[in-house]
Amino acid sequence: MQEIRVRIPKERIGVLIGKKGSTKSMLEEMTGAEILVDSTTGEVIIRFAQLPEDPLLPHKLESVIRAIGRGFNPEIALKLLNDDYVLEVIDIRRFVGSRKNQLKRMRGRLIGEKGKARAYIEQRTNTDISVYGHTVSIIGKIYDIVPAREAIFSLLEGSMHSTAYRLMEKKISQMSRRALTDESLLRKTLREEGD
């Protein structure tokens, strides 16, 4: 039996469980796992009675649960069951320490007035971003996460929003060029293997 333990904030346990256990049940049904939740500690145990067909499924499910713990709604977190999607969690304290007023100020910068900064980064990079507690988390495809992370790091380091967006745009074009190159290399390899 394979077992993974994850700890999420206690106030997010209700979201993981869902109304009348609906979210937890859906995750168990989709993955074949048993999910045990300790609402007093925030500890979540993921158990697989038998190895799933997809050897990465236990880690994907762990990412889904971590994402819910980091403030994402379950529908967005479920993207992490797809091979193409990853979760990146950035600890804001690495940039500002653990002073509450600094954390609050930095969360405000990342979200922006009426959520505009976060929405703009999400829209330009095709990612989902959650600013929760002392973290900012990103769900997306790896080529999309890189430019989003570039903008977030830039903001965390104190850059103006316009500078952060410029760096993000530059990284978007670099990553799209790299994606095209990788795709053409893959096609070339497949053609050669087919011959």
Round to whole Å and give the CA distance between 138 and 176. Answer: 18
| 5 beta partners | 45
The 10s digit of each residue's pLDDT in 124-152 is: 999 999 999 999 999 999 889 999 999 99
Q: Are 121 and 136 in contact (CB under 8 A)?
A: no
Q: Looking at residue 186, what is its pLDDT?
A: 67
Average pLDDT over residues 105-117: 95
And the tokens for 95?
């940039």
State the pTM of this model: 0.89
| End-to-end Cα spacing for the chain | 43
Average pLDDT over residues 111-117: 95
Counting residues of the chain whose pLDDT is more than 70, the rounded percentage is 96
Q: In the structure, what pLDDT confidence band is assigned to residue 187 with cuts at 50, 70 and 90?
A: confident
| 4 beta partners | 46
Residue 92: is its pLDDT beyond 90?
yes
Q: Looking at residue 195, what is its pLDDT?
A: 56
CB atoms within 10 A of CB 78: 20
The 10s digit of each residue's pLDDT in 31-54 is: 999 999 999 999 999 999 888 888
Whole-angstrom CA distances from 86 to 68, 102, 146, 154 are: 13, 28, 11, 21
Residue 183: is its pLDDT beyond 80?
no
Average pLDDT over residues 18-42: 94
Which domains are present in the chain? 2-81 (3.30.1370.10), 89-182 (3.30.1370.10)
Q: Looking at residue 168, what is its pLDDT?
A: 95
Q: Are 23 and 13 in contact (CB under 8 A)?
A: no
